[in-house]
Amino acid sequence: SGGSPDKRLAEMQKQLEAAEKELEKAKEEAGRSGAETERLLQLVQMTQEEQNSKEKQIRDLQ
């Protein structure tokens, strides 16, 4: 694409800013995704602990 160097520079600057915004958005989404994964892992762990506790109670009653 032609145009004056100033115009091309301004266009590149705009593209860079857009890319930086996209990167920031992706980082935020990754952070939320990581937090959700952590929450689900804790939920699984709690469920497993409850299951182990119930199995132990059953064994103790037998």
Q: Tell me, what's the pLDDT at 1?
A: 57
Q: Tell me, what's the pLDDT at 15?
A: 98
Tokens 């699984």, residue located: 44
Q: Tell me, what's the pLDDT at 3?
A: 78
Q: Tell me, what's the pLDDT at 33?
A: 96
Digit-by-digit pLDDT tens for the chain (62 residues) are 567 999 999 999 999 999 999 999 999 999 999 999 999 999 999 999 999 999 999 999 99
State how far the Cα of 7 lies from the Cα of 47, in Å rounded to an integer. Answer: 60
Q: Tell me, what's the pLDDT at 2?
A: 65
Amino acid identity of 43? L
